Structure 1
Amino acid sequence: MSMNIRVLTPDRVICSTTADEVVLPGLTGQIGVLEGHASLITALDTGLLRLKLNEKWTPIILCGGLAEIDQNRVTVLVNDVEELTSLELSEVTQELEKATLAVESAETNKARLDAALELKKATARVEAVNYLS
């Protein structure tokens, strides 16, 4: 038996499917969800959501939000998602390096926060490419 999962943004349904396992990007680390998981509501960080169905992982890059887990149903409400279209490992690795340098060279708190968010997205892209290849 599998879990029902829905990923929603304010303006559209990203996916509505089933999964054997879900890994969420929590604020304090990854949250693994299997069938029969206890009820839970948690905040999500920018990062990689992974869905496993029939031994195959599907990655989705999330931009913050909330997740509710209840009776083998996972509902993920996010601000936005990033589409995974034609990502190349060399390209996303370069983006990760640029984002790391931007964090290190940020001079104001706002610039540091913006750079840190871009670093999280770049890290999620690299992870996504690794799952897709």
Structure 2
Amino acid sequence: MALTLDIVTPERRVLSVTVDEVRAPGAAGGFGIRVNHEPFMTALEPGRLTYVEGGREHHYAIGGGFLQVAENRVIVLADTAEAAGDIDVERAKRAFQDAQDRLLRMTEQDEHHPAESARVKRAAARISVAGR
């Protein structure tokens, strides 16, 4: 028996695959899912989503979202999702620096602060995943 993993963004279905394990960046901390996991739903932070298929790890940078587990099916509704091999590292580094620069010029009370903070986290996740 195995898990079915579906990763979906607002633009498209990114991935649908049978896996042995999923590890994700939950809002309350990282967690793992294996076959027959108890049903639950949680918010995801920007970060690394890893799945194991046949003993091999595959990595995705996700930009936050939600994850649901039920009946050996894991559904990830992600703001963004990008496979490690598809990430343009130089572009991610530029995006990180640009967002970091904008964030440093703001106060936490600035209405754009949450959006810039999220951009920094997404870019950092992309850099981290691509570097692996």
Classify the TM-score, shorter chain: 0.7 to 0.9
The answer to which of 79-88 and 121-130 deviates more is 79-88
Aligned match of 2:114: 113
Give CA-to-partner distance per residue, 1:1-48, whole Å, 9 cap, x none.
421111123442111101121112211221211222111111222222
Aligned match of 1:126: 127
Letter in 1 for 2:75: T
Shift of 1:74: 0.6
Between the aligned partners of 2:114 and 2:82, the Cα distance in structure 1 is 19
Between the aligned partners of 1:104 and 1:10, the Cα distance in structure 2 is 30
Letter in 2 for 1:50: T
Rate the CA distance shift 1:125–1:80 in 2: closer, same or farther, 3 A.
Answer: closer
Aligned match of 1:8: 8
Contact 1:106 1:115 in 2 (8 A): no
Among all aligned residue pairs of Structure 1 and Structure 2, give the percentage whose two residues are the same amino acid.
25
Aligned match of 2:17: 17
TM-score when normalising by structure 2: 0.78
- 1:76 paired to 2:106: no
SS in 2 for 1:42: strand
Long gaps (5+) in structure 2: none
CA-based RMSD: 2.4
TM-score when normalising by structure 1: 0.78
Pick the structure with more strand per residue.
2
Aligned match of 1:87: 88
Rate the CA distance shift 1:100–1:37 in 2: closer, same or farther, 3 A.
Answer: same
- 1:30 paired to 2:30: yes
Aligned match of 1:44: 44
SS in 1 for 2:6: strand
